[in-house]
Amino acid sequence: MTSDSLLFKDDWSACRRMFTAWWHGEVADHWALGIQSPRNTPLSVAEPPPAPPKERERWLDIEGNLARAEALFAQRFYGGAWHPYLAADLGPCLLAVLLGASPNFGPDTVWYEPLSADPAQVQLRFDPDSPYWQWTETAVQRFRQAAQGRFSLAIPGLVEGLDILAALFGTQTLLTYLLDCPQEIHRLLDELDEIYFQVYDLLYEMVRDESGGHTLSHFSVWAPGRATVTQCDFSCMISGDMFAEFVVPHLERQCARLDYSMYHLDGPDAIRHLEYLVNVPDLTAIEWTPGAGNPYAADPAWWDSVWRPIYTAGKSAHCWAVPGNQIEPFLREFGQEGTLVTTGCDNEAEAQRLLETSTNWGA
């Protein structure tokens, strides 16, 4: 599935070099700037069928979702370090579904009905006969067949740790369990560490290209080996001491079993845990999502509290959805090495112009 170009991404080889250099804190050809815009001349693909009226049917519509994704790819220009990819997603937390949480399918995401169970009585096990795992395998294999020479494949968003337990038990309930029965939470987190890689290893073998690379779902990042996005959105509700106890050891184990890893830092209340994240030795990169209503990720408001600790620790930085006028100041402050910025332009000519003019920013 590896080639120098894809139907929907002509400069695929150069794109992969950008990402590989970025993971290593370096620059290849052009620093890692990803731009998406409307394509001047849309490519010709088959007309997709209309989406099913019911949300559950739409999420599980393998052929329809494939066709609708390709119709979108045909309309978009992917410049620099941005590329088309497809994942067999069942919402943001696939592991929760595979472990028994009932999915509620919405227009844009999936919510999960928590279990009503005493954690002391819960034994987490991955069941390969689960209907949702069977759907995932079928969807990934179909997407792999279609991806040849056309687009990249991503491992669906698995998520791990406390975020999965929050989906399984409910956020408020899990908060009480951390205080009332921490030993059971530690046990379940240990079980999750192994289940995560049971599922990850199966999926990686299904989506990897000939070079061993694949895309990280939701963030349009390609990696040249075993990689994942890790996170703990639940951490916004716990102290630094709890983060050190319940999150850091599992994050360290997870990152140690991968070639590359990127942490999704989400929201101002998560910033207090950055001091722990930058000291995880095998964590390669950190992405920052400020949250609705806050300044964009590259805004100077975040330079000292978020980005400077990341760069000082030698981690690569993913600055997502940045307005065009904030890119140059950010590059001049932090440099090109280990910097990945994504943005959008109104048209392909503007996107090409930004790629050319930004070549030496921060060099």
The mean pLDDT values, 10 residues at a time, for the chain of 363 residues are 83 97 97 98 96 96 98 98 97 94 94 90 95 98 97 96 96 97 98 98 97 94 98 98 98 98 98 98 98 96 98 98 97 98 98 97 93
pLDDT number for residue 115: 87
Report whether 95 contacts 159 (CB < 8 A). yes
CATH number of the domain located at residue range(s) 12-357 in this protein: 3.20.20.210
Q: Tell me the C-alpha distance between 351 and 268, whole Å.
A: 30
Q: Tell me the C-alpha distance between 25 and 285, whole Å.
A: 9
pLDDT number for residue 1: 45
pLDDT number for residue 288: 98
CB-based contacts of 213, cutoff 8 Å, min separation 6? 2, 16, 222, 223, 224, 225
- pLDDT tens for residues 118-161? 999 999 999 999 999 999 999 999 999 999 999 999 999 999 99
CB count, 10 Å around CB of 362? 18
Tokens at residue 309, please? Answer: 């600790």
Q: Tell me the C-alpha distance between 295 and 33, whole Å.
A: 20
Domain limits, the chain = 12-357
CB-based contacts of 118, cutoff 8 Å, min separation 6? none
Q: Catalogue the E-assigned strands of the chain.
A: 32-38, 76-80, 85-86, 102-105, 110-113, 152-155, 214-216, 221-223, 227-231, 260-266, 285-289, 316-319, 339-344
Is the four-CA dihedral 335, 341, 343, 348 of positive or negative sign? positive
Tokens at residue 224, please? Answer: 């040249």
What angle is formed at CA 225 by the lines to CA 59 and CA 308, rounded to 5 degrees? 90
Q: Tell me the C-alpha distance between 185 and 66, whole Å.
A: 38
Instruction: Say which amino acid occupies 358.
Output: S
Tell if the pTM clears 0.75, that is, is over it.
yes
How far is residue 214 from each of residues 19, 131, 151, 165, 337, measured CA to CA in Å?
A: 11, 25, 11, 27, 22
